[in-house]
Chain A
Amino acid sequence: MPAARRIRVWDLPTRIAHWSIVSLFGVCWWTAKSDHMQWHRLAGYGMLAAVWFRLAWGFWGGETARFGHFVRGPGTTLQYVRKLFARGDEAAPAPIGHNPLGALSILAMVGLLLTQTTFGLFAVNVDGFASGPLSRWVSYSAGRRFAHWHGANFNLLLVVVAIHLTAIGFYRWIRKERLIPAMIHGHKTVSAPIQEPYFVPWWRAIALATGIGICVALIANIGSLA
């Protein structure tokens, strides 16, 4: 059996995007509950930028962050699920990066977060004052519908987050895989002979983040540009 070695699996941009989404999710939730809509809007812009970045990084980022690397077809996913509870040699191998089930979770999460932020851009508060930056292009009634969908979609997000957290617990205590520390420091200890993933230069992340930041700033201020 080859000796265990520590390899890098997550690059810094992936980790920053991940933890930004986690913290902004909490901020968005709290500011909506406590009716701090000005802060909610700012946190929403941050979330929009983080989700767009993660989406873009899924195409131009490091190997483990790419959708092409971790999104698998139904056959591979089912095969992985069948071996999920097996022990010893029969057990499903722990892939570097996201496993096929985690891929589904990420697709659901990114999809719902994109929907959520888009709804928020058009949403109108009941009093008509606190509204998303694109709400001036929809009527009050349509804006209210966007606000209701924003609320309903948030409940779906809560379900996906609960499943995600349960899965992390399952991997921690049943399969003895520590996913959270790896997402913090970016490394995993592996014993199987695996080729280390490739990563892309840091300037690519800076360029993408700058471009996305400019786009989000334009959306936030689009009213004053019209």
Chain B
Amino acid sequence: MRFIPILRNSDRIRVFLVSATMILGALGSAHAASLPQIVHARQEHFRMLGRTAKSLRDQFGRRRLNWAAIGSDAQALDRLASELPSWFPPGSGQGHGVKTRARAVIWTNPQAFAQAAHMLLFRAQGLTRAAAHHDRRALMLNARALGHACGSCHSRFRAHSGWW
């Protein structure tokens, strides 16, 4: 049995072109759907980062520190900081039809962004070490340095003030 014997060669080409267009369209729409997902996931990661940092900071005011909670938060921050560069795949910034505050400079100057991300990780690791040694002074210093690392990154790579 021959495959669709009634079609001529020119019709086959048309069917091929229409099918290819549909498949490419479907792939394109799948890509368009994935970009908001990437941005949404990134925002969720940053919320988690902020939530964890706040949880850690809320401990600081107490006279007796809860080192178990601090250690857990510090480790979570350490892990999130190590993952941070992967939240910014190329094409997921402003100007790609999706609402985000990630400035284009992240991708136009990847070296600067990588350095900033590395600094964040360095500070987060310092925090984890201080928490492991129950060193209150080092913890405060590293937390402050981590806060500065966050603020410095926001001022360069985020298109809005950190407060609103």
Contact = CB atoms under 8 A, between A and B. Distances in A.
Interface of A: 32-33, 35, 37, 123-131, 135-136, 140, 143-144, 147-148, 150-152, 222-224, 226
Nearest to A123: B163
A127 B147 contact: yes
B46 interface: yes
A223 B54 CA distance: 13
Contact of A130 (B62, B151, B164): B151
Given A223-B61, A226-B61, A126 B51 contact: no
Contact of A129 (B61, B62, B143, B161): B143
Nearest to A120: B163
Among A123, A124, A147, A150, chain B packs the most CB atoms within 10 A around the CB of A124
Contacts of A35: 151, 154-155, 161-162
Nearest to A154: B164
Contacts, number: 83
Contacts of A127: 49-50, 53, 147, 150-151, 154, 162
B63 interface: yes
A153 to B, nearest CB: 10
Contacts of A226: 61-62
A219 to B, nearest CB: 12
B46 A129 contact: no
Interface residues of B, number: 27
B163 A140 contact: no
B134 interface: no
A130 B147 contact: yes
Interface of A is mostly: helix
A143 B47 CA distance: 12
B58 A130 contact: no
B84 to A, nearest CB: 12
A62 B127 CA distance: 53
Contacts of B46: 126
Nearest to B147: A129
Contacts of A130: 147, 151, 162
A151 B164 CA distance: 6
Ordered nearest first, which 5 A-B pairs have the shortest CB separation? A223-B61, A151-B164, A128-B53, A129-B147, A128-B54
Interface string B124-164: 00000000000000000001001100110011000001111
Contacts of B50: 124-128, 140, 144
A197 B143 CA distance: 54
Nearest to B153: A127
B52 to A, nearest CB: 7
Contact of B57 (A123, A131, A151): A131
Contact of A131 (B54, B63, B154, B155): B54
B163 A126 contact: yes
Given A140-B51, A150-B164, A224-B63, A126 B57 contact: no
Nearest to A143: B54
B88 interface: no
Nearest to A37: B151
Contacts of B154: 35, 126-127
